[in-house]
Amino acid sequence: MKKIDEYQGKKVLVMGFGISGINAAHLLVKLGANVTANDKATPKNNDIVDDLEADGIKVITGDNPISLANEGFDVVVKNPGIPYDNPLVAAFVKQGTPIITEAELGWQIFDGHLVSVTGSNGKTTTTTLTQLMIAENAKYQVKYAGNIGISFSKIAEGLGPDDTLVTELSSFQLLGAPTIHPHIAIITNIFSNHLDYHKTRENYINAKLNITRNQTKDDFLVINWDRDEWQKIAQRSQATIVPFSRLNKSHEGSYVEDGMIYWRGQEVMPTKDIRLIGPQNVENALAAIAAAKLSGVTNDAIKKVLTTFSGVRHRLQYVMEYQERLFYNDSKSTDIEATEVALQGFDRPVILLAGGLDRGYTFERLVPYFKKHVKAIIVFGECKDKMKDAGNQAGVPVIESENAITAVPEAWKLSEPGDVILLSPANASWDQFPSFEVRGDKFIEAIEELTGKKEQ
């Protein structure tokens, strides 16, 4: 951990009691700050408040009182999910108070080698693969943190100048990370996500590009080269561009040709040997390979990871095989693009479980994928009628169910040996579950109850 005096004697407000917020509050105390912690909700677990107060932190819960804007805070550390049009946040913006996220605080104290990953889809898998690959050849610590569910600043506290940290960073985190400077930055792809937060696609793209804002020609931006738009976006970086591509050959980076992965013209391994399924995971592997090779990782280490790693939980996760049916949990597929990609990964008939929060859009884009890959669809949630319409357009049998749990035995009844039973909802979970993680966990529990087996 790097010793800094930037917060010594400063008045800091931490907004949000998530994992990152709580860790940030405690870290700021160590850095000499006078800390107030605020959360709009009242925690059900009093231990959280007791722990903060025991560290000398003033705690305010149950509201974001606008009066806090008049208390002379020098810095606000904001939970990434709190929007900038929140009245209290907007008041701080208006008066010019610096607003950062915990990722910025983590960067300020980090003293090692930083690799950072962002993108619309594939961030967590790419982050995990990159960390595993670099760790295979490392003499020092290699950790991951960030939007993957682990506090950046908490991990950074325990790392030294020879260590490596691979961070997954969301657009929300990057908006509040003005000085972050990874040596290797990865952009997996950019679609149109979180426009309710960012308002426009250009704002969303600009937030993503904060990952490379402070990079120089001595740093590297690893970026997906499969769309013209992403190639143009790369031109806005000062870093050395390292493309990865499943569709376009580029000797400057990693790419696929005739079923073989290459790094700058040299063979690495066949795509068929990657344990993760689907074209999206080939892309994730290519991105991780580029970062790993730039970090000096051997081909043998890369092969070991890619032939053994079976997936991140809830992200096209292989659950089990039972009576010649394969179960996959892709609860993280909360948008249409992710479900499109998931369906392309299977060469077996798929019984698809889909539906969730109605965000106002329809699913005609999925019709070609339904026709090609899906033998039946079980729909649920607020948008089930819209999903049913797309299934009918594709000529695929559609059955309604209450939710992703009750859909499991329904799918089993429809299945035959050789089928895939896939939860890939194409929608957020919030109409029925508090998170995609809970939805995926409940789906797995339903499979275990059906089969009498534990996930593999």
CATH 3.90.190.20, the chain: domain bounds: 317-451
CATH 3.40.50.720, the chain: domain bounds: 11-100
Beta bridge partners of 77: 14, 100
Q: What is the pLDDT of residue 198?
A: 81
Res. 5: pLDDT tops 80: yes
Q: Does residue 453 contact residue 411 with C-beta atoms inside 8 Å? A: no
| Amino acid at position 146, single letter | G
Helix (H) or strand (E) holding 239: none
Q: What is the pLDDT of residue 250?
A: 83
Q: What is the pTM of this model?
A: 0.82
Q: Does residue 353 contact residue 423 with C-beta atoms inside 8 Å? A: yes
Those residues with Cβ within 8 angstroms of residue 3's Cβ, 6 or more apart along the chain or in another chain: none
Q: In terms of CATH, what superfamily is 103-308?
A: Mur-like, catalytic domain (3.40.1190.10)
Percent of the chain predicted with pLDDT > 90: 88
SS3 category, 428:
coil
Res. 403: pLDDT tops 80: yes
Could you give phi then psi for residue 66, rounded to 5 degrees?
-60, -20
Per the model's pLDDT, the better-predicted residue between 60 and 338 turns out to be 60
Alpha carbons within 13 A on the beta-carbon side of 421: 28
DSSP strand E in 349-419: where? 350-355, 374-380, 398-400
DSSP strand E in 234-382: where? 240-245, 254-257, 260-263, 266-270, 317-322, 325-329, 350-355, 374-380
CATH 3.40.1190.10, the chain: domain bounds: 103-308
Q: Which pLDDT tens digit goes with each residue over 81-103?
A: 999 999 999 999 999 999 999 99
How far is residue 315 from each of residues 244, 280, 288, 347, measured CA to CA in Å? 21, 11, 16, 18
Q: Which pLDDT tens digit goes with each residue over 409-431?
A: 999 999 999 999 999 999 999 99
Q: In terms of CATH, what superfamily is 317-451?
A: Mur ligase, C-terminal domain (3.90.190.20)
Out of 90-99, 118-127, 146-155, 317-326, give the one with best mean pLDDT. Answer: 90-99
Q: Which pLDDT tens digit goes with each residue over 144-169?
A: 999 988 999 999 999 999 999 999 99
- Candidates 3.40.50.720, 2.60.40.1180, 3.40.50.10800, 3.40.1390.10; correct CATH number of 11-100? 3.40.50.720
SS3 category, 112:
coil
Residue with tokens 């937060």: 197
Q: Which pLDDT tens digit goes with each residue over 209-221?
A: 999 999 999 999 9
Per the model's pLDDT, the better-predicted residue between 46 and 450 turns out to be 450
d(Cα 410, Cα 426) in Å, to the nearest integer? 19
